[in-house]
Structure 1
Amino acid sequence: MPNEQDIYEEHVLDHYEDPYHRGPFESATHAHAGKNPLCGDKIHVDLRLDENGRVAEAWFDGEGCVISQASASMLIEAIEGKTIEEVKEFSANEMLDLFGPKLTPNRQKCCLLVWKVVQTALHSPVGDECEEEDLSSALGGPLGGSVGGPSLGEEQ
């Protein structure tokens, strides 16, 4: 019988190997991209928000470690059908819980990259400048120490 950690690891690998809604999405109403320059993880998120204030569809693309890519798949799957307010209220700690296995502070940044990009995408209509955000400065914002560990700027 597998222990809880084994189940989570299998769940993580399932999302990495067979991700939910990965690839380009032409019908996005909102989009944003971000990267973690210290490890090379990159995530681009496309959202289609409907007239009822819900995430009708969510897609991602990117490259990086298993943690960043699997967490992107998990979050994209979790937010579809949610209201914009529900997505905005989804916290960094809830993202870490959604991922499952406990992560070191340095690895938490891999998991939280997609969370940060989704939060910004909600405020980034397609047609506005959709610039890739460098998370070495961005993680000082809404995360603001809520998950502990060194800031990206402190890591060398």
Structure 2
Amino acid sequence: MTPEERLAELGLTLPQVVPPVAAYVPALRSGDHVYVSGQVPVADGKVLAEGKVGAEIDPDRAKELARVCALNGVAALKSVVGDLSNVVRIVKVVGFVASDPSFTGQPQVINGASELFGEVFGEAGKHARSAVGVAALPLNVPVEVELIAEVR
């Protein structure tokens, strides 16, 4: 089954690539790798949530938002490679979680993104990862996800 077929089976439609909010591109190919810039939880041009996880944002909601970030990342990846079957592997994922100082569940939040990559790409979606708590993120979003993919 192709990644596009898996997306359809999951009932997911790739969104339009989120336009950059500063001086960068959403995704860039260099050799056999595509570097996808940090993706935030935006849908239909609107930020889906603002605030810190563990304060204004519940961890389960933040996990759902990380999934939205990952879906936006897949859209950016597809914009560079055309067919998602050209993805050999999701190599590395970095997730940033705007966290209340007492919140330490960043890995569980970023699982929302990691699980989506596994569902869409199967074995090729297994990746190395970092989940980092930060004081603030652009647009006051609670989560941001970036990735590196190996492609053919």
Please give the range of the TM-score, normalised by the shorter of the 2 chains.
Answer: 0.3 to 0.5
Structure 2 length normalisation: TM-score? 0.33
Higher strand share: 2
Give 1 or 2: higher helix fraction.
1
Structure-1-length-normalised TM-score: 0.32
Structure with more contact order per residue of length (Cα contacts < 8 Å, sep ≥ 6): 2
